[in-house]
Structure 1
Amino acid sequence: MKLCVIPARGGSKRIPRKNIKEFCGQPIIAYSIQAARKTGLFDHIVVSTDDDEIAEIARSYGAETPFRRPAEISDDHTGTNAVVKHAILWFQENGTPVDLVCCIYATAPFVQEDYLQLGHDKLIQSDKSFAFSVTSFPFPIQRALKITQNGGLSAFYPEFRSTRSQDLEDAYHDAGQFYWGSAKAFLQEHELFSNQSLPILLPRHLVQDIDTPEDWIRAEYMYKAIHSSI
């Protein structure tokens, strides 16, 4: 069985009610549900939440909410893996074995079914534990600066200050959209950022982390720009 898990707890301090806040015309969680449904890959698309309003909205867009997320994995410090493990175990304890799982974040309005499909295909064709979305940094990380205690600037990597940009190794970061993995890998808590994971490379214009009001505004501008040209 292939399971999609969308974590969406009710508490959000920096952007209140973030997971169901309206984003370009619909609750932001709707984009993740819709992308998952368009793939046709999943036997169950589940929103894991501790919040009745989120659950109701999730069901209205075609997701399932077969359980309420326990309070002990609904606080600020709970990691994604604990939420996914809980969902896998719930299905298994209710008589439905799980083979593959894809966790899609609720605040990922740029997630696309083609990349979800690509992640699925690359994972099942490999012997890896995970396949997840990454994108490249727009500027060489070797040229990163820090502000010192006296208000000045210092290089994180002074050894690269004279190296040409084109000679520096490309660097990538987690795009924060989706994470494919075997149920076994999630349950056994395999290391995500390791050689046991495959990168699904996204273009930078399809990636925006949404943690602050400023992020939200930028994401809406990006979404409108992309869809105005389609």
Structure 2
Amino acid sequence: MIRLCTICARGGSKGVPGKNIAQMQGRPLIAWSIDQARQSGLFSAIAVSSDSEGILAAAAEAGADHLIRRPAEMATDIAPKVAAIRHALEQASLMAKLSPDVLVDLDATSPLRLPEDIIGAVTLLEDTACSNVITGATARRSPYFNLVEERPDGSVGLSKPGSGIVRRQDAPRAFDMNASIYVWDVPRFLAAPAVFNDDTRLFEMPEERSIDIDSALDFEFVSYILGKRLKGLSS
């Protein structure tokens, strides 16, 4: 089984400018994901895709195998990430001279994951032979009881009204996607690149490893948790 890891990190973050190479516990943020990919022991190659020379330089310093310059049209605020992932897959496959069976994309802004999470998500894909696996944590709100949506007229209502479910025990489990790990069967991804397919599975991660950095507050919070983790490892 040939597995390829991609990490797509553009340089134009608005919430936390320069966050992908901002110092997180003394290291560029992107270095944490590269290390986790390496420590999982799963990958024939680890590739980083970016429109930023600074990010690519930090990725090279952190040990990425291949650096991919992302086209400008794939690095805007509105560009879909799946297109950038496909571009990274195709370019990295050429650079590494590989024909991967499995593609794993790690989000550089989710450094609280562990190598075991990557292994678990890949194992789920390979054991079930599904098209792809996403990751998430148990949702704090249920669409059947206390998750509401705003209607065009400004009123609100349950996200899943009229279900007939009156007991929480009878409601299907709901999850918050944490955008940490995406795993695809490569032939099916190339045929129809998508995050959701009819047979998509979810690998559950705990809430404390599911924080995605979107704001300065997120950055401080994640840094605090990582600091505590490092202190625990050294004690």
TM-score above 0.5, yes or no = yes
- In the alignment, the residues of structure 2 paired with residue 26 and residue 91 of structure 1 have an alpha-carbon distance, to the nearest angstrom, of 25
Per-residue deviation, 1:127: 2.3
Q: Write the distance in 2 (CA, Å) between the matches of 1:204 and 1:91.
A: 32
Is 1:178 the counterpart of 2:181? The answer is: yes
Match of 1:206 in 2: 209
Who is 2:34 aligned against? 33
Q: Secondary structure at the match of 2:69?
A: coil
Residue type at the aligned position of 2:123: D
The aligned counterpart of 1:8 is 9
Q: Does 1:169 align with 2:172?
A: yes
Q: Render the CA deviation track for 1:143-202: whole Å, top value 9, x for unaligned.
A: 124689999x85435768x94544543211211101111222322234422332121111
Supply the AA of the counterpart residue of 2:140. P
Measure, in 1, the Cα distance between the counterparts of 2:77 and 2:9: 12
Q: 1:132 aligns with which of 131, 134, 148?
A: 134
* 1:129/1:190 contact within 8 Å kept: no
Determine the structure 1 residue equivalent to 2:57.
Answer: 56
Q: CA shift at 1:126, angstroms?
A: 2.1
User: Does the C-alpha gap of structure 1 residues 57 and 126 become closer, same or farther in structure 2, counting only changes over 3 Å?
Assistant: same
Give the alignment of 1:28-107 within 5 angstroms: 28-93=29-94, 95-107=97-109
Displacement of 1:210 after TM fit?
1.4
Please tell me the residue identity of whatever aligns with 1:196: D
- 1:36 positional shift: 0.1
- Residues 144 and 67 from structure 1, CA distance in 2 versus in 1: closer, same or farther, beyond 3 angstroms? closer
Decide which moves more: 210-219 or 102-111: 210-219
Q: Which amino acid aligns with 1:98?
A: P
Contact 2:85/2:105 (CA < 8 Å) preserved in 1?
A: yes
Shift of 1:120: 1.4
* CA spacing shift, 1:188–1:166, aligned 2, 3 Å: same
Aligned partner of 1:215 in structure 2 is 218
Q: Tell me how far apart the structure 2 counterparts of residues 133 and 148 of structure 1 sit (CA, whole Å).
A: 29
Aligned residue in 1 for 2:112: 110
Moved more, 93-102 or 193-202: 93-102
Q: Give the whole-Å Cα distance in 1 for the aligned partners of 2:216 and 2:62.
A: 25
| CA displacement 1:96-146 (0-9 Å, x = unmatched) | 322211000011111111111111122112221112212111233331246
TM-score normalized by the length of structure 1: 0.86
Question: CA RMSD for the aligned pairs?
Answer: 2.7
Give TM-score, length-normalised by structure 2: 0.84
Question: Structure 1: which 5+ residue stretches go unaligned?
Answer: none
Q: Secondary structure at the match of 2:16?
A: coil
Q: For 1:55 and 1:66, how far apart are their aligned partners in 2?
A: 6
Distance 1:137 1:35 in 2: 25
Per-residue CA deviations over 1:20-63 (Å, capped at 9, x if unaligned) read 11123221111111100001111110110111111111111111
Structure 2 unaligned runs (5+)? none
SS in 2 for 1:66: strand
